[in-house]
């Protein structure tokens, strides 16, 4: 399996270094034959190539079996004409990575704030309110007059159908419960279509229980009783916000692993951003990047029918859970170790 590795900005190089060590550890243990191809994106690439991402890099990623993308300082990238392209958007759009899978669960050893839970947010990744990816050329935010901005939200039947299918297929491997999160009381057409497509797909999965919740109420419900949820399917921006909340509820945003998957490609990418407030201090939690690596291995193993990759992914998740329970973790989740020491402890557990 050939994986392109792009460490990213801020805490990215620190957390990605741990993810790479963990990948190499499972490669040795499970004989995966991983080939890691290290390259750059974000600020480093802007300095060296005049753009945060380049067409040559995209071609390299297309030819590989997977991508590990570190967090990017996307807020710094304001002008595409100056090469300041949002790398997350670029790969999600160019590789059609429509399903953003973001699990969140509580861990033994991490103080539980709102009760134990284990859920997955399945977020549509290619349209919605994201002005940088929902039209073919240009952006879908317009300055109508100096004092008026219009931002368009795109919802298509195809994208609703395929994200619903990802959610129901995932639910079949879990507790067979899907919750549709929407704002169809106001966005009657767009979210009406989203709910309609979800219910159409649901008919193919009669064993799966389905309910739906309006997004604002969902914030109260999920905080009140997170254990009521299994798979939560929603549109792009709602999923972005909800999944940061559920990651933090599990103990820390630094526990939020995430996979961006399409039909032919996948990208492991932490749910959080580049965290400039803690960058370079050796305190960032590498769990999200490591869990994203495990999700990428699992995706590849399931697609190719290669059990060793699925086992490697489970071994990473188990080692991380055992380590956290033994307080071999960073301070955001109750440990005392730095990023590097945490990574070394996890690698040791993986043999
Ligand atoms: P952030 O997610 O980087 O950080 C939010 C808070 O969570 C901060 O207090 C940070 O210290 C903490 N945090 C994040 N990751 C952590 C980790 N692994 N361990 C411990 N604590 C962690 O959000 P922000 O500060 O709003 O954004 C910073 C930059 O990241 C911005 O430029 C933003 O646009 C970008 N961003 C990128 C992505 C991405 O690349 N996928 C996602 C979100 C934000």
DSSP 47: H
Ligand 1 pocket: which of 10, 273, 283, 332 to mutate (most atoms <8 Å of CB)?
273
Residue 47 vs residues 81, 83, 195: alpha-carbon distances, Å:
15, 10, 44
Q: Are β-strands 35-38 and 148-151 bridged in parallel, bridged antiparallel, or unpaired?
A: unpaired
Domain 1-96+279-350, classified CATH 3.40.718.10, yes or no:
yes
Question: In 10 A of CB 144, how many CB atoms?
Answer: 8
Q: Return all residues near 136 (Cβ < 8 A) that are at least 6 apart.
A: none
pLDDT value of position 69: 98
| Helix or strand (DSSP H, E) at 347 | helix 339-349
**Cross-strand pairs, 149:** 143
Q: For residue 74, report the distance from its CA to the centre of ligand 1, in Å.
A: 10
pLDDT value of position 210: 98
Contact 30, 308 (CB under 8 A): yes
pLDDT value of position 351: 87
Q: Record the pTM.
A: 0.96
CATH fit for domain 112-250, picks 3.40.718.10, 3.40.50.300, 3.30.230.10, 3.40.50.2300: 3.40.718.10
Ligand 1 pocket: which of 19, 76, 274, 333 to mutate (most atoms <8 Å of CB)?
274
Lining ligand 1 with CB less than 6 A are: 11, 15, 71-76, 88, 252-254, 269, 272-278, 284-285, 288, 332
Identify the sign of the CA torsion 278, 282, 283, 284. Answer: positive
The single residue listed with the structure tokens 């999600």 is 92
pLDDT value of position 111: 85
**pLDDT, tens digit only, all 351 positions of the chain:** 999 999 999 999 999 999 999 999 999 999 999 999 999 999 999 999 999 999 999 999 999 999 999 999 999 999 999 999 999 999 999 999 999 999 999 999 998 888 999 999 999 999 999 888 888 787 889 999 999 999 999 999 999 999 999 999 999 999 999 999 999 999 999 999 999 999 999 999 999 999 999 999 999 999 999 999 999 999 999 999 999 999 999 999 999 999 999 999 999 999 999 999 999 999 999 999 999 999 999 999 999 999 999 999 999 999 999 999 999 999 999 999 999 999 999 999 998
Domain 112-250 in the same topology as domain 1-96+279-350? yes
| Domain locations along the chain | 1-96+279-350, 112-250
pLDDT value of position 149: 95
Ligand 1 pocket: which of 41, 84, 272, 330 to mutate (most atoms <8 Å of CB)?
272
Q: For residue 210, report the distance from its CA to the centre of ligand 1, in Å.
A: 32
Instruction: Determine the Cα–Cα distance for residues 222 and 227; give it in Å rounded to an integer.
Output: 8
């Amino acid at each position: 399996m050939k994986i392109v590795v792009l460490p990213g900005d801020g805490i990215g190089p620190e957390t990605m270094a741990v993810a790479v060590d963990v990948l190499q550890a499972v490669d040795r243990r499970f004989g995966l034959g991983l080939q890691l191809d290290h390259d750059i994106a974000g600020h480093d690439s802007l300095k060296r190539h005049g753009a945060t991402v380049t067409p040559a890099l995209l071609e390299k990623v297309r030819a590989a079996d997977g991508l590990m993308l570190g967090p990017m300082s996307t807020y710094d990238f304001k002008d595409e004409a100056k090469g300041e392209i949002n790398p997350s958007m670029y790969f999600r759009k160019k590789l059609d990575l429509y399903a953003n899978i973001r699990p969140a669960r509580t861990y033994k050893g991490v103080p539980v704030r709102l009760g134990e839970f284990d859920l997955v947010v399945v977020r549509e990744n290619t349209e919605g309110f994201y002005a940088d990816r929902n039209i073919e050329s240009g952006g879908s935010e317009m300055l109508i007059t100096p004092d008026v901005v219009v931002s368009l939200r795109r919802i298509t039947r195809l994208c609703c159908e395929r994200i619903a299918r990802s959610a129901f297929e995932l639910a079949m491997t879990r507790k067979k419960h899907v919750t549709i999160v929407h704002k169809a009381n106001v966005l009657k057409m767009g979210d009406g279509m989203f709910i309609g497509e979800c219910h159409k797909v649901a008919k193919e999965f009669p064993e799966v229980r389905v309910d739906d919740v309006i997004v604002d109420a969902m914030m109260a419900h999920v905080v009140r009783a997170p254990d009521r949820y299994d798979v939560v399917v929603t549109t792009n921006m709602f999923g972005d916000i909800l999944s940061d909340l559920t990651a933090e509820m599990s103990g820390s945003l630094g526990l939020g692993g995430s996979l961006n998957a399409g039909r032919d490609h996948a990208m492991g990418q932490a749910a959080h951003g580049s965290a400039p407030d803690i960058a370079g201090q050796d305190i960032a939690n590498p769990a999200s990047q490591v869990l994203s690596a495990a999700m990428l291995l699992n995706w590849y193993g399931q697609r190719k029918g290669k059990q060793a990759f699925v086992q490697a992914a489970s071994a990473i998740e188990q080692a991380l859970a055992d380590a956290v329970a033994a307080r071999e973790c960073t301070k955001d989740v109750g440990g005392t170790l730095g990023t590097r020491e945490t990574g070394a402890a996890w690698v040791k557990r993986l043999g």
